[in-house]
Amino acid sequence: MFLNLVAWGFLAGIIHFVIAGILYGNPAIDRMYTTAMKEHAGVRRWDSRARYLVTQFLGTQVEVYLVAIGYYWLRPLLPLSGLGGALMLGLLFAAIRVYSRFWNMWIQSTYPRNLLAVELVNGTLGVLAITAFLELFAR
């Protein structure tokens, strides 16, 4: 079980990273972040895109493994079968992971509101991608 979790968690991390790259790397969102980096002190600037991407992957891999552990632990307890059950669990994980971060940033920072909305939507889609991947391929 442990080795399966490690292997499938790693693959889910790659899928999550690719999907996040597509969601955040599209021209409209990329332009929003580029503008925000110039205008808002709360948006971090990275001198090296490669260093940012490696740091991002390693950091999100921790999240992916936590979601995978929760998925394997809680999935058998849900009465809804198939992809619907996985997405229901994914929404629960997204609510825990994404909402608290969104709320904290909204009330405690001057982070641009449009980027907060992007984080809310893309963060939710990223978590759903992890649980859908695990349901479809690793179960």
Q: What is the mean pLDDT of the chain?
A: 93
Torsion of CA 18, 92, 96, 23, to 10 degrees: 20
Residues 82-128 have pLDDT tens digits of: 999 999 999 999 999 999 889 999 999 889 999 999 999 999 999 99
pLDDT band, very low/low/confident/very high, at 42 (cuts 50, 70, 90): confident
- 71 CB contacts (<8 Å, ≥6 apart)? 86, 89, 93, 130, 131, 134
pLDDT band, very low/low/confident/very high, at 51 (cuts 50, 70, 90): very high
Alpha carbon distances (Å) from 82 to 61, 79, 139: 25, 10, 10
**What tokens were used for 20?**
């996040």
Contact 74, 89 (CB under 8 A): yes
In this prediction the pTM is: 0.91
Measure the N-to-C terminal CA separation of the chain; round to a whole number of Å: 11
pLDDT at 64 over 90: yes
